[in-house]
Amino acid sequence: MPVTGTLYESAHAKINLYLHVTGRRPDGYHLLDSLAVFTGVGDMLALHPGHGAAGAVSLDITGPFGAGLVADADSNLILRAARLLRAEIGGTDGLEPVHVVLDKMLPVASGIGGGSADAAAALRLLLRAWPGNVPRERLMALATELGADVPVCIDQRAARMGGIGERLDPAPALPACGIMLVNCGEAVSTPAVFRARAPVFTPAASLPSAWPDVAAMVRDLSGLTNDLQDAACAICPTIRTVLDVLEGVPDCRLARMSGSGATCFALFDSPQAAQDAQAAVERPGWWVWAGPLHA
């Protein structure tokens, strides 16, 4: 079906409410047990009719964190996603050229999976624009090839991540709550954090099927860990400062780092409570967002 107007997909920030490193594969990738949730804030991708050869994808990057990224076919996850999808569909015949604009609202290399969310959003957008039937299991395989965080970003729904991130199981039913994200402005390399972690493993968590309220959720999460937090703090000591600030907010129920850092999150009883605390947390050079989880 020809693309006549603009198609949009949002790419929400992923937060790891806990992250246990449970083992290591022979190829060096780590086995994880994590509860990933998505927040109200995200990047936005717009797809317009494009120019050039069949299946061509051009990319412009705008937005507050766009300057740090290049629209390069080998490194940009959106263009890499397009290349993989073209190969999966079996060539460019009949594929309309398209132009994608990425509005980059999320800090880059910050533990909230912005690049992964963009890659997943690009796959969803291109599947709307291009003919071709890609079965769900092939889509998830393409996602895993793009990065360990990409599979969970395909549906952008809270999920329990296992394997290296490719195994997805239902999350406990979550209570309504508020969340604040704080990034100190220092990019942290995911491979460097995995390399720097202490070589110990934590068993997978045991979770209920539902948390009736924020207090119950926080009680369980408090007994769990982000096993990458100490290594990330050693590489980027400002993360500890951010956590100290969040832990000092009177209504904060739990403060922890997400993913491989440096972004930290704090949980609150409601989106309003999180937003009310925002001004007290802001510092020059810090990115702070507060609001609800992505429904």
Ligand X SMILES: C[C@](O)(CO)[C@H](O)COP(=O)(O)OP(=O)(O)OC[C@H]1O[C@@H](n2ccc(N)nc2=O)[C@H](O)[C@@H]1O
For binding to ligand X (CB under 6 A), which residues are involved? Answer: 16, 19, 29-30, 32, 34, 113, 116, 147-149, 164-165, 190-191, 194, 259-260
CB-nearer residue toward ligand X: 138 or 195: 195
Select the binding partner of residue 164 from ligand X, ligand ATP, none (C-beta < 5 to 8 A, by kind): ligand X
Q: Give the shortest CB-248-to-ligand ATP separation in angstroms.
A: 25
Nearer to ligand ATP, 153 or 246 (CB): 153
Residue 14: active-site member: yes
Closest CB to ligand X among residues 8, 29 = 29
Return the beta strands (E) in the chain as ranges: 7-24, 30-49, 57-62, 98-103, 159-162, 167-170, 178-183, 254-257, 264-268, 287-292
The active-site residue out of 33, 43, 118, 149 is 149
From ligand ATP, ligand X, none, interface partner of 29 (C-beta below 5 to 8 A by class): ligand X
Binding residues vs ligand ATP (CB under 6 A): 69, 75-78, 108-116, 118, 149, 190, 259-260
CB of 193 to ligand X, least distance (A): 8
Among ligand X, ligand ATP, none, what binds residue 134 when CB lies within 5 to 8 Å by partner kind? none
> Known catalytic residue: 149?
yes
- Residue 255 binds which entry of ligand X, ligand ATP, none, with Cβ cut-offs from 5 to 8 Å by kind? none
Binding-site residue numbers for ATP are 107-117
Catalytic sites, residue numbers: 14, 149
